[in-house]
Each structure stands twice: as structure tokens, then as C-alpha cells.
Structure 1
């Protein structure tokens, strides 16, 4: 792994910082469009008008560049979600706010969060472990919210979180603009997951109540003693 040279005073000059920011933005777009594996250092250098060797003055390696871009994207997404849930204290309200914000992030035409997360599979093992660690930190936002939800014991919270995030993170695959806004779609997703949780809670409570009601409503039949035919009197 190459190491980028430091400036004499240990800090980047304004021009260097501006150039590096340009590299990050261009590389982020290429990574999101082509994926990690299909994006080369030469392609990034060409896109910013540099020689491939000169690019290493500003970055350490393709691997470190991708990790930095990936982590910055998730940090920005996390910051937006924290801001969205901050005004709320009720667990369901916090989940709705988090769902709304994440869906808007993933459906934004300029968002690179989801494409970068999807590139984890094609990254080398050592890079992948760093990416997964950051992804797990990001998902902890939803883990903490879901841990506070009044879910019935029959619902596994990890599975609940995985399914919810899968729906939100793949929305760009099925979303078509026009019929509903991002907020309306997020509300539908949230409502379905909340309804399923509440329906399960009702179902768990229903059998005991139903049996109690059926016993109370059932007519009591008079018991007739058994008699031998010989005991019956003729009219």
C-alpha cells in the first residue's frame, strides 16, 4: 500500500485539499456507477485529468480511497437520520422518522450510499471487513430504535430489522416516481411493519380471550340420568 506524501507543515494546502476533494467526489461517482472491482485507478485519474502515478500524491491506494468514501457516505447518512429522530421520544415515532429519512437518502438521484454498500461483495477480504464494520455501526441506529419497540416476544428483533432495512435499501429497484412521494412510501412501509407487529400481538392475545368468551357463551345442557329400558313407564 502506498503512502501519500505529507506537506512540509503536516497539513494540506488549500489547493491540495481542493484537489483531493475533487478526487473523492469523482471516485465516489465512478465507484457508485461501476462498483469497486470495475473501477481502476487509471479511470479515476483520467476523470480528474491526472496521470495515474500523480494520483498517489493525494491518496494511499484504491482500497483506502474506497473505504474513506464509503465511510463518509454512511457518516453523512447517519447524521441525517440522527437529526430526523432527535425531536421524537416515542419508539414508533422514532422508527417512522428514521425510515422516512433513510428512504429519502436511498431514492435521491445523487445518493451514492446504496451503490457503495452494494460494492462490499466485490471488495478484497481485508477491505470488506472494514466496510462491514462501518455498515454494522450504521445499522446500530435502527437496532437501538427497534430494541425499544413494544414488539411481541414471538417477533425476533434482528429479523425484523433485517427485513425492514432490506425493503428500505432496495427501494430504488422498484420505485417509480409519480404516484407517491418519498414520504408517502416511507409511511406505507412503516405502517405495514407496525401493523404486522401489532397484529401479531393481538393474535397472541386472542386464543385465551376467545376460549374464555366461548365458555361463557356456551349454553348449559341439562344432564339426563341414564335409564334402563325396563325402567321406562308406558303412557
Structure 2
């Protein structure tokens, strides 16, 4: 069973670890409480009450509220990163794969609004060293976009005057903002939003040659 990210070195190897189902429930409930009340406004008592357990029982799983936020944030980041890495690994030219990554990122965001909101709102509540631990020193999530843009640029498919890092930040900034205005059951589906944002992005950075690859 996966050892939760914030629990390293807390218990000896011989002690019983929490059941995976209970840990998953804790993460889900904590995510919802942080979403509703914000990290500063939420308490471990709130989370324990929602789970129907004593507050003291939470300390079997975590050492502090900060540890729990770290585990929530890590879980959100890990899930999203798995989605875009899978999309980046499809066959095809880098610009084609970038389109796939953008669509996947947007669709994942639309279908995970609460975890996304907690990640984007509360990441800054963690100390810097713990934020780096989540994101990776090279910002792994951003790096998927940057590497594809850089590869497409080297192939002559993206304009040479663009900085890949700035372009990646621009793409992430615009696509991340979807969580603020998307409404399930509204006028636009996640698929429509992903496709249109990908189209706008690709047409904004691609050369004529690059447009022929997507």
C-alpha cells in the first residue's frame, strides 16, 4: 500500500498502516473541508466530525493539519501529472501531443473542480520547502508543457521568437483559470472547452509548418 506523502518516518516498519480505503476517505473529506472553509478556517475537528471519528484518531494518519494539507495537495498534483504525462506519451509530432496534453489537462480540471480549487488556493499555505517537494524542483507539471513546446520549436513547428518557459506558463495560466468559471451541466462540456482552448493555443504559437502537423 502507498505510504501517504506526509507520513514518512512516523512509524516503525512493524506498526500497522491505515487501510487504503480509510486513507482515501480522509483525503477526500479533508479536500472538501479545505474547499468549503479554506485551510486557515478549517480545523482537524471539522474533518474528524465529517468522518465520524474522534479528533485524536486522526493522529494515527497525520501529525498536523499542515501534514494533511500537504497530502491533499500532493494527491491532486500526482493525479493531474499522471493524466498529462499519459497524454504527452501518445504517438505523433510534439505539437500534436501538446494539443492532447492541453485537452487532457482541461478535461481533468473540469471534472475535478474541488481538488483543483484546493490545490490552486491553498498551495501557498505550505512552507516553501514543502511546496517544492510537491511540485518538484523543476516544476514537473509545467515541464511537460515546456518540453513539448521546446521540442516543437526545435522541429520548426513553433515560432522561434517564443520562450518555451513563458509559453508554458501562459498555457497553464489560461487553462487553469477554467476552474473559476466552468459549471457542470452548463453551456459548455469539458470536451468542448478543452478542444477550443487547445485550438487557440496551438494557433497562437505554431508556424505554418506546425499547423500542418495537428
Same fold (TM over 0.5): yes
CA contact (8 A) 1:63 1:127 kept: no
- TM-score norm. by structure 2 comes to 0.78
> Secondary structure of the residue that 1:37 maps to in structure 2?
helix
Deviation at 1:3, TM superposition (A): 9.0
Deviation at 1:10, TM superposition (A): 3.2
Structure-2 separation of matches of 1:79 and 1:132: 13
Matched, 1:28 2:31: yes
Q: 1:168 corresponds to which residue? A: 175
Q: Structure 1: which 5+ residue stretches go unaligned?
A: 202-235
Q: Which has the higher contact order (CA 8 A, sep 6+)?
A: 2
Q: Structure 2: which 5+ residue stretches go unaligned?
A: 1-5, 210-214
Matched, 1:181 2:189: yes
Comparing 174-183 and 18-27, the one that deviates more:
174-183
Label 1:7 to 1:113 Cα distance change in 2 as closer, same or farther (>3 A): same
Structure-2 separation of matches of 1:81 and 1:52: 37
* Cα displacement string for residues 44-87 of structure 1 (whole angstroms, at most 9, x for unaligned residues): 11111222222112212211221122112211111122223332
Question: Which of the pair has more CA radius of gyration?
Answer: 1
Match of 1:113 among 113, 116, 136: 116
CA contact (8 A) 1:4 1:59 kept: no
Structure-2 separation of matches of 1:158 and 1:7: 43
Label 1:113 to 1:134 Cα distance change in 2 as closer, same or farther (>3 A): farther
* Cα displacement string for residues 8-62 of structure 1 (whole angstroms, at most 9, x for unaligned residues): 833426xx44333322221122123333222211111111122222211221221
Q: 1:59 corresponds to which residue? A: 62
Matched, 1:197 2:205: yes
Q: What count of residue pairs does the alignment treat as equivalent?
A: 199
Deviation at 1:128, TM superposition (A): 3.8
Label 1:135 to 1:183 Cα distance change in 2 as closer, same or farther (>3 A): farther
State the superposition RMSD in angstroms.
3.0
